[in-house]
Amino acid sequence: MNISRRNFLKVSGKAGGGLIISLGLPTYGTLNAVNPEGKEVEFNNFISIDTNGEITVMLTKHEMGQGTGTSIPTIIADELDADWAKVKIKQVEYSPKYTWHEMGTTGGSGSISRTWDSIRMAGATAKELLKRAAANKWSVDPIVLEVKNSFITNLVTNEKVEFGALAEAASQLPIPNEVTVKQPEEYRYIGKPIKNRITKDVISGKATYGIDIDIPGMVYASIEKCPIYKGKLKTYDATEAKRQEGVLDVFPFVLSEEVRTELNPVLGYVDEGVVVVATSTWTAFKARKLLRVEWDGGENGSRSIASLQADMAAVKDTPDLMSVDLGTIEEGLANRNNTVLEMEYDSPYQAHALMEPLNATAHFNNDFCELWVGTQDEERTIGEVAKSLQLPREKVRIHNLISGGSFGRRFHSDTSIEAAFVSRKIKKPVKLTWTREDEIRNDHFQPFLKNYLKAVITPEKSVIGVENRAVSTVEYVTWSDTWDHYYAFPNIRCYRSIVPTLLLEGAWRAVGEHLAAVSKECFVDELANELHKDPLDYRIELLSNEVDWGDPKDMPEWVIKYRLPRKKLIRQRQLDILFYIKEHGLWSTESPEGKGRGFAIHNFGPTVCAQIAEVTMDDEFGFIVDKVTAIVHCGLVINPHFGRGQIEGSIIWALSAVKYGGVEVENGVVQRSNFHNNKVIRMDELPEIEVIFIESDERPCGLGEPGVPPLAPAVLNAIFNASGKRIRKIPVTQQDLYDTPEGVPVT
């Protein structure tokens, strides 16, 4: 792959010999101490090299446990041919010199795929500059030079020179018109199971999370938040709270309507509340409990999950729009000789339940706000905080710290807005910390989706029509957007309806794809059973038939250029996985009595993941998941160690939702509060997990979320295989397994 000088300048910035100015940002994974006499020379926006040989890689993505903070530097080090032991990693602050792909959102499982071109260019270009500097030093043709392990060797004379000795001279050279990046067979680090560089600091307590920050003069704050989405603060009595030793101030947290209208209604939404400022976090927490607060619940104050379900049922027959119109199923529905299967699936709200509670530290001083927080999107958080304070963007600065889990939750700016508001009010630096109860009750929940499905089947056991009426609480997670493009059913009708949400919503690991997969993959499994076909073979049949994506003449250019090729890639990867499973004998519907196997396949972005779940029915626990086998096609796997970890973590995450997920809501208030009633999978509940990657040299795609969507439907299908009961919702309860009758087809 050749990189032109023009493209390199666009995405990586102009190389130069200027010294990097230290901003005191966190670094990690340093294996060699910096020589104070060394001079750090900047090559581009991603690489600087100390004249004593130490290499600093600039990390523009947020590290939240997924390993991106090691994988991205690994790619750069590979292209640079650097000694990995001499590489240190520095988290950089937001800067407009980086493109959106380079520094934008750390989310959507896209950190590596979005930066792939830029970081490879950065490494390869820096290497070429060093190589040319060595050629000048020895007055030889660069063709006789070899670059390896931070040294350049003259293959004619066997002379060697380290990168550090060439750094200043190399950085002064003009950027080459073209550079060549490596081919897969040349990789030294890419594709190898390199350990996470932050692990040692994490287990030793040296790693700095947002909750660890300590600033001179800092005080501590906690907010009693309105428990009802869009609720208002009516009155409060802080008499008892103020009497507590260590309490410094108590005041309302209410943004003006002018400010609220400026903020993004999702990313910048904050609940009203009452702030307690104290000399310690625990004092603030204790004093909060003594507040007497009265709330106005507003439109959501009388709503519940039951009323939301009723709202959804009420609109299913009067949809807002038809999202897919391919043929007609009315004639098939009217024919009494046909069988009509009707199914209803529920994918409910899901909480995040992060291990590190949400927090942010702010110092507002002289119309400038400085923040220390773990965020998935520095640029947007800067924008939302600036709007909330009515300041120019350049008056807000964020130090992005590693975080203890995020899964989409730290994409939102609420904690930063709250901390900035409090700091400005009290004129001191302040650390704001949410309680576990705050994080669960005032979460940005995964949206709620219901699917009402029909399938028309002829007496000859042929599906001649499918209808999906999707009802969701937000538009962007509608199931039909992902389903109809891959399975080739004749005569498809998909409808969409939106109802007002009961809870604040946001990104939850795998977002809409998790919602989509539950109904899609269970629905296909039910059809296979009705048609007396093997679930795997039936999917191969549906994916092998030609699919109608519409007439290209009616499509925008971007759809033809980007979306259609991606759909075709995903469809092919699904088939590749299905054939791999058959060829390696991984699938069978045969199981001993009381045991069952279930299958599901889905994508997140271009990455496709199939899962085979093996379950045992159990009188005490309802069901036990014994093993999950995941087969993944993500293109090139940058680090198999991290890749397996991400898929394993996704399976555990999704299994928690299957066994314990959803939330109960009464009078607008979430009834869960902590891990005792918002349970997550414990170690003794974990299944055996096997992860298989389809070998590929294609462009790498994300792995943080693709393992989530197939888990729930694979388990639900396995439960049917073991017990004969169809469960069309999560979580799966004892009552579902032992009191729910099997649905009866309508003929």
Q: What is the tens place of the pLDDT at every residue in 354-411?
A: 999 999 999 999 999 999 999 999 999 999 999 999 999 999 999 999 999 999 999 9
User: Where residue 745 falls among pLDDT bands split at 50, 70, 90?
Assistant: very low
Burial 375-413, CB ≥16 within 10 A → b, else e:
bbbbbbbbbbbbbbbebeeebbbbbbbbbbbbbbbbbbb
The closest alpha carbon to 450, from 380, 345, 528, 523, belongs to 345
- Give yes or no for residue 279 having a pLDDT over 80: yes
pLDDT score of 327:
84
Q: Establish how many alpha carbons lie within 13 A of residue 430's alpha carbon, considering only the half-sphere containing its beta carbon.
A: 30
Tokens 């609220």 belong to 260
- Give yes or no for residue 631 having a pLDDT over 70: yes
CA-CA distance, 640 to 571, in Å (whole number)? 24
Query: What are the beta bridge partners of residue 145?
Result: 154
- Give yes or no for residue 244 having a pLDDT over 50: yes
- Mean pLDDT value of segment 701-722: 97
- Give yes or no for residue 270 having a pLDDT over 70: yes
Burial 447-460, CB ≥16 within 10 A → b, else e:
bbbbbbbbbbbeee
- Give yes or no for residue 577 having a pLDDT over 90: yes
180 or 10: whose pLDDT is higher? Answer: 180
Mean pLDDT of the chain: 91
Locate all alpha helices (DSSP H) within 139-208, ordered by sequence.
163-171, 199-204
Give the three-state DSSP class for 457.
strand
- Give yes or no for residue 22 having a pLDDT over 80: no
User: Where residue 295 falls among pLDDT bands split at 50, 70, 90?
Assistant: very high
- Mean pLDDT value of segment 684-704: 97
Both tokens of residue 572? 């092919």
Share of the chain above pLDDT 90, in %: 81
CB 394 within 8 A of CB 247: no
pLDDT score of 237:
98
The closest alpha carbon to 242, from 295, 294, 283, belongs to 283
- Mean pLDDT value of segment 45-59: 95
pLDDT score of 321:
87
- Write the CA distances from 130 to 34, 136, 146, 188, 301, integer angstroms: 21, 10, 11, 19, 65
pLDDT score of 322:
86
Ordered by where they begin, the domains of the chain are 2-204 (3.30.365.10), 217-299+358-433 (3.30.365.10), 321-350+445-739 (3.30.365.10)
Q: What is the largest CA-CA distance in the chain?
A: 88
Both tokens of residue 320? 């807002």
pLDDT score of 20:
31
- Mean pLDDT value of segment 576-603: 96
CA-CA distance, 127 to 123, in Å (whole number)? 6
CA-CA distance, 590 to 676, in Å (whole number)? 37
- Write the CA distances from 229 to 281, 325, 350, 411, integer angstroms: 25, 36, 15, 19
- Give, as one character, the DSSP assignment of residue 505: B
pLDDT score of 26:
43
Give the total residue count for the chain: 747
pLDDT score of 480:
44
pLDDT score of 380:
95
- Mean pLDDT value of segment 526-542: 97
CA-CA distance, 167 to 146, in Å (whole number)? 17
In 588-682, where do the E strands start and end? 595-604, 607-618, 622-633, 665-666, 669-670
Sign of CA dihedral 574, 575, 578, 581: negative
pLDDT score of 703:
96
CB atoms within 10 A of CB 183: 9
- Mean pLDDT value of segment 493-511: 93
- Mean pLDDT value of segment 309-324: 92
pLDDT score of 547:
82
Share of the chain above pLDDT 70, in %: 92
- Give yes or no for residue 484 having a pLDDT over 80: no
In this structure, of 26-40, 183-197, 403-417, the range with the lowest mean pLDDT score is: 26-40
How far, in whole angstroms, is CA 1 from its chain's centroid?
30
- Give yes or no for residue 46 having a pLDDT over 60: yes
- Mean pLDDT value of segment 206-211: 92
In 443-527, where do the E strands start and end? 449-457, 463-472, 492-498
Both tokens of residue 474? 């937000």
